[in-house]
Amino acid sequence: MDGRTTGVDGNGFIARHGLWTDGQARRAREVKERVEAEGLHLIRLVWTDTHGIARARSLTPPAFEAALSNGHAIGAGSWSLDASGGRVFTSFVSGGGMGLREMTGSPNLVVVPDPDSFRTLPWAPGVGWVMCDDYFRDGTPFHFSPRHLLRRMLAKLADRGTAAVVGLEVEWYLLKLLDETLADENAGIGGERGRPPRTALLEPGFSYDSETNLDRMQPMLSILAQHYVDLGLGLRSVDNELGASQVECTFMPQPALDAAADFVLFRSATRQICRRHGHMASFMTVPGRRGLYPGGWHLHLSLVDAKTGANLLAPDRAEDHLSPLGRSFLAGQLDHAADGAVFATPTVNGYRRFRANSLAPDRATWNTDHRGVMLRIQGGPGDPATRIENRVGEPSANPYLFIAAQVAAGLDGLEREAEPWPADDDPYEADRPRLPASLGDALDALEGSSFYREAFGGVYLDYYLAMKRAELARYQAFLADSGADPAAGVTDWEVNEYFDAF
Ligand code: GLU
Ligand code: MG
């Protein structure tokens, strides 16, 4: 629709605004050759919206070649829609319904491919894939881009000679698709998602690590594992989790920005591959079906010396859990557990997971190897894999925002040279700050946070709050209209909204 304007508006956009390093420019030339040599017919330009959903435009090779020099124009629409495709902002008035002059009229943005992220999609022959960064047409970074936000937080770490390394541990549901055909009731209209397709379990569940039941999922898991490897996703393990048809995937640690991009690709790829094989993957946290145990996304984060790569969290002495730097970072994460919770658990549904004596936290606690705490430290003296495992995240979180919020919180601890409170042996009884009990509480906590307003900027914070409040308002309207009792169990609205998302 608007690709043709790119050449006019953005001639030499990338070089003119200095948006690539020399290395990226070199790799862009390699990518161009690869597109030709492999005879690709379409290349998906992907960006990640506020909800963590991968959005894409697919370009033919000549258009892609132009995008490697000019970027590619997209409408700002995906930034004013909530996860149901409903409009949150009145874009066609001055200020775009956000009080921001630059957002008037849902203007064009320019997405710029990051050549380092280029790959071909093993399940879609002839199709390439590249992660992009979003810019305004004057070359300034787009202020709602979660990827730019994470970059900004990582730059602050870099100012201290430090880099963040992240390992992903994600739980999700692998189900057999019963209806390939979508009926009208499955269709969404902006602001109201349709019903997810009917699915069946592959294994009965509550069979944690059962080898026999793992095999019920093996045919699909083998296809997925091969594709993850082909995508270069750094897969480490694929396991049978506790719930029925619940899978856990873990990935090798890597630089934080790459881990965030890979999480987006992992989630999107898993859903695409499964669908092509008559299955469905769901990243909904609490699906509310018998046997489907809540799913978590555990974020394993360590800090390394930016030059040497040496782990900076490992303590010198066996009696210490973390280095002094690690203790301060952890203290910052604890202090901002409540006001930053919505970035880890951004859905209405996810708050059902925070229950006493479960495998998910309900308050800001920490310890070494203890699965009841929020921050679980693994490693020790001399262990290059020493890390803080944050167990608060849900699988449908936006990885850029979750990681950015954790880095910001940790940085605050570093700046204040904060000290954590003593480790928690009884985390569900400890007198520690409680995590918010609902999305509404989490949004209130964020709204009252001068810390995140400063760290993420007021423009971003107000935008994010408006987006999530719109989602919450739709849920509340459903409750009022239907009379459904949310305490009685997961509501139809949650299932429609989150089961078949991403
Ligand atoms: N499914 C649990 C959760 O809600 C985590 C299980 C585990 O410790 O791996 O986070
Ligand atoms: Mg697990």
Distance 228 CA to ligand 2 centre (A): 19
- Count the helices and strands in the chain (H runs, E runs): 14, 16
- Counting from 1 in the atom list of ligand 1, the atom nearest the Cα of 246 is 1
Ligand 1 pocket, residue 360 CB under 6 Å: yes
What does each C-alpha distance from 291 to 239, 243, 285, 294 come to in angstroms?
17, 6, 13, 10
pLDDT digits (tens, 9 = 90+) for 47-104: 999 999 999 999 999 999 999 999 999 999 889 999 899 999 988 999 998 999 999 9
pTM of the model: 0.96
Distance 459 CA to ligand 2 centre (A): 36
How far is it, in rounded angstroms, from Cα 222 to Cα 332?
40
Test site for ligand 1: of 237, 250, 358, most ligand atoms within 8 A of the Cβ: 358
How far is it, in rounded angstroms, from Cα 168 to Cα 163?
16
Tell me how many degrees the CA angle 168-120-296 measures, rounded to the nearest 5: 20
CATH of domain 4-144: 3.10.20.70
Contacts of 77 (CB under 8 A, 6+ apart): 91, 106
pLDDT over 90 at 502, yes or no = no
pLDDT digits (tens, 9 = 90+) for 11-41: 899 999 999 999 999 999 999 999 999 999 9
Mean pLDDT value across residues 154-165: 98
Which residue's alpha carbon is at the smallest distance from atom 1 of ligand 1? 295
Mean pLDDT value across residues 310-334: 96
By three-state DSSP, how is residue 234 classified? coil
- Counting from 1 in the atom list of ligand 1, the atom nearest the Cα of 294 is 4
pLDDT digits (tens, 9 = 90+) for 223-281: 999 999 999 999 999 999 999 999 999 999 999 999 999 999 999 999 999 999 999 99
Nearest of 353, 224, 352 to residue 298 by alpha carbon: 353
CA atoms within 13 A on the CB side of 412: 20
Could you please report the per-residue DSSP string of 275-327?
Answer: HHTTEEEE--S---STT-PPP-EEEEEEEEETTT--BSS--SSTT-SS-HHHH
Mean pLDDT value across residues 419-444: 97
Quote the DSSP letter at residue 363. B
Ligand 1 pocket, residue 294 CB under 6 Å: yes
Distance 266 CA to ligand 2 centre (A): 17
By three-state DSSP, how is residue 189 classified? strand
162-498: CATH topology is Creatine Kinase; Chain A, domain 2 (3.30.590)
Ligand 1 pocket, residue 72 CB under 6 Å: no
Test site for ligand 1: of 282, 298, 299, most ligand atoms within 8 A of the Cβ: 298
pLDDT of residue 7: 43
How far is it, in rounded angstroms, from Cα 415 to Cα 97?
36
How far is it, in rounded angstroms, from Cα 373 to Cα 83?
30
Encode 397-418 in three state secondary structure.
CCHHHHHHHHHHHHHHHHHHCC
Domain boundaries, the chain: 4-144, 162-498
Phi-psi region of 292 (alpha: psi -120 to 50; beta: other; left: phi over 0): beta
385 touches 253 (CB < 8 A): yes
Ligand 1 pocket, residue 393 CB under 6 Å: no
How far is it, in rounded angstroms, from Cα 403 to Cα 203?
32
Chain-centre distance for alpha carbon 381:
31
Token pair belonging to 483: 């009379």
Chain position carrying tokens 């978590």: 296
3-state helix, strand, coil in the chain (%, to 5): 40, 20, 40
- Counting from 1 in the atom list of ligand 1, the atom nearest the Cα of 248 is 9
Test site for ligand 1: of 207, 237, 240, 293, most ligand atoms within 8 A of the Cβ: 293
Torsion sign, CA atoms 66, 68, 70, 75: positive
For residue 134, which amino acid is it? D
pLDDT of residue 378: 95
* pLDDT band per the 50, 70, 90 thresholds, residue 1: very low
By three-state DSSP, how is residue 215 classified? helix
45 touches 67 (CB < 8 A): yes
Which residue's alpha carbon is at the smallest distance from atom 10 of ligand 1? 296
Which residue's alpha carbon is at the smallest distance from atom 6 of ligand 1? 359
How far is it, in rounded angstroms, from Cα 148 to Cα 261?
12
Give the chain's mean pLDDT. 95
pLDDT of residue 289: 94
pLDDT digits (tens, 9 = 90+) for 100-128: 999 998 899 999 999 999 999 999 999 99
Ligand 1 pocket, residue 372 CB under 6 Å: no
pLDDT over 50 at 2, yes or no = no
pLDDT over 50 at 415, yes or no = yes
375-378 and 297-305 beta bridge pairing: unpaired
Chain position carrying tokens 């167990």: 391
Ligand 1 pocket, residue 371 CB under 6 Å: yes
pLDDT over 70 at 3, yes or no = no
Q: Which contacts qualify for 289-293: CB closer than 8 Å, 24 or more apart? A: 289/244, 290/244, 291/201, 291/204, 291/205, 291/206, 291/243, 291/244, 292/173, 292/205, 292/243, 292/244, 292/245, 292/246, 293/205, 293/206, 293/241, 293/242, 293/243, 293/244, 293/246
pLDDT of residue 318: 85
Answer whether 4-144 and 162-498 agree in fold.
no
pLDDT over 80 at 6, yes or no = no
Phi first, then psi, for residue 40 (nearest 5°) are -65, 150
pLDDT of residue 11: 82
